[in-house]
Amino acid sequence: MDDREAFAKRLADARAKRGLDKPERGKRALPSSTWGVGLRAGVEVVSALIVGVVIGLGLDRWLGTTPWLFLLFFVLGAAAGVSNVYRLFAPRTGVRKD
Amino acid sequence: MAAEGNAIDALGQFVLYPALGQVGAAVGFTNSNLYMLFAGALIVALMVYGMREAAMVPGRMQGLAESAYGFIDDMVVAQVGEEGRRFFPFVFTLFMFILFGNMLGLFPYAFTFTSHITVTFALAATVFVLVTAVAIALHGRKFFGYFMPEGAPMWLAPIIIPVEIVSYLSRPISLSVRLFANMMAGHVMLKVFATFVVMLAGLGTVGPVLSLMPLALNIALVAFEVLVAFLQAYVFAILTCIYLHDAVHLH
């Protein structure tokens, strides 16, 4: 067993020296073709807007405050959409930290 | 079928109808469900039949099964980290189910169950509930700190927190709409150009020559759709991994 471990260690060292071992993180990322990124950004904005509008209309119907909460959540949804798009291009914080 | 009455019926391919005859009609078993079962059976067959021998030097099917396994295993470990291994079965099942659904839909006469928003939204909602449950189970009350980024001034909290909540809730929508829209758009385009082939072919002497153009385009589109089918399954799986990473590490 000792032999085998020693061999595994030497192999690992040799691989590391040669740079054969793939880096632990960030190897696989989302595909980043222009069209792909553009469509993703669009979908992110629209879906955040849908959520905002649905929440606003639902709360309005429940509380009888038409149309004020709808207007508020429409703006919040738009802001969330922008923040989604920002997050799409900003480097993900958690990945670099650990 | 599509060119009857010179109308392009591009959406007829998404209509649900009862499968398996009388029994299917009685229990509401549709062609969509049939293809889901078919996809599941094919995945099980690939994994069981492929790994039957578990040879040191893999054959074709074993190579396919192993590379699918390794592909998702790499993805989960790279995105979520070593502790994310326990989510491997979930991500692998999702990926294979979507991939097989997309690919099966490319066969002529086949039904694409991933082109229905109800199906993709059910999948995305499952991911959303699981991710939220994992985050709450691991972090308890600290999970709600996720909606207030560190370092942001306190007076901005009334704006930031609702925006973050809406942004969090928009995840299942964007996840499901992306898959559904890609599959639906692809199949509509295939159908439209296929209809052009038939329509142009019936246009007298120059018709058959002209109809070669949409035919060539359709051939290219099929190849493109194979790429999209894989890519969308991959994007769905990797976004699930990214969400799981957020749930496990909370930023």
Task: Please write down the HEC assignment for all residues of B27-79.
Answer: HCCEHHHHHHHHHHHHHHHHHHHHCCCCCCCCCHHHHHHHHHHHHHHHHHHHH
This prediction has a pTM of 0.82
| Cα gap A21→A14, rounded to integer Å | 10
pLDDT at A30: 65
Contact A55 B169 (CB under 8 A): yes
CA angle B71, A30, A34 (to 5 degrees): 135
pLDDT in tens, chain B (251 residues): 444 556 778 787 888 888 887 888 888 888 899 999 999 999 999 999 888 887 788 888 899 999 999 999 999 998 888 888 899 999 999 999 999 999 999 998 889 999 999 999 999 999 999 999 999 999 888 888 888 877 778 888 888 888 989 999 999 999 999 999 999 999 999 999 988 888 888 877 888 888 888 899 999 999 999 999 999 999 999 999 989 998 888 76
Chain B closest-CA separation from residue A84 CA (Å): 7
Which chain A residues are closer than 8 Å to B121 by Cβ? Answer: none
3-state secondary structure at position B18: strand
pLDDT at A24: 46
Q: Is A55 on the interface with B (CB under 8 A)?
A: yes
The shortest CB-CB distance from B167 to any of A48, A95, A98 is to: A48
Contact A28 B75 (CB under 8 A): yes
Q: Which 146-165 residues of chain B touch chain A by CB within 8 A?
A: 159, 162-164
Chain A closest-CA separation from residue B23 CA (Å): 38
Q: Is A66 on the interface with B (CB under 8 A)?
A: no
Contact A43 B174 (CB under 8 A): yes
Q: Is B133 on the interface with A (CB under 8 A)?
A: no
Q: Is B141 on the interface with A (CB under 8 A)?
A: no
> Per-residue pLDDT for A28 more than 60?
no
Chain A closest-CA separation from residue B201 CA (Å): 33
Q: Is B9 on the interface with A (CB under 8 A)?
A: no
Residue A90: C-alpha distances to residues A84, A85, B3, B48, B225 (Å): 10, 9, 48, 42, 30
pLDDT band at A93 (very low <50, low <70, confident <90, very high): low
| Cα gap A51→A84, rounded to integer Å | 13
Q: What angle separates helix B157-201 from helix B117-139, to the nearest 10 degrees?
A: 150
A83 or A15, which is more confident? A83
Q: Are B196 and B211 in contact (CB under 8 A)?
A: yes
* Longest alpha-carbon distance in chain A: 77
3-state secondary structure at position B145: helix
